[in-house]
Amino acid sequence: MDPRDEKLVELLSSLQKKKDICVTVISGVEACEYTGVIDEIFDGCYLVLKGNAEVKVYIPIACIYKLIYYYDDQQPAIFERQ
């Protein structure tokens, strides 16, 4: 696992089952945004995000470009890959 991914997994683990997060995923030249609550981190490689209507989205952690989250109901925090 890439060391950058390890730091991201640590951050995601601290946010698990808390508030909604917004994830921007880049695959090739396409970008998508997903919003939901972190249901689980599967095998250290996939983020399982539970959105509206209990729909689960499996997101490869290596494809996560940006993460927007609220920590302790404060200002939004942003994690962005360099």
| pLDDT grade for 1, boundaries at 50, 70 and 90 | low
Q: How many domains does the chain have?
A: 1
- Per residue in 14-34, pLDDT (tens digit) is 999 888 999 999 988 899 999
What residues form DSSP beta bridges with 32?
A: 25
* 28 token code pair: 């090739």
Domain harbouring 35, CATH code: 2.30.30.520
Q: Tell me the pTM.
A: 0.83
Residue 4 to residue 73: CA distance in whole angstroms: 26
Residue 65 to residue 75: CA distance in whole angstroms: 20
* 21 token code pair: 């997060």
- Per residue in 51-76, pLDDT (tens digit) is 888 899 999 999 999 999 987 767 88
- Note down the domain range covering 66: 3-80
Instruction: Look at residue 39 in the predicted model and tell me its pLDDT.
Output: 94
- In the block, which residue shows the tokens 């991201």? 8
Instruction: Look at residue 70 in the predicted model and tell me its pLDDT.
Output: 84
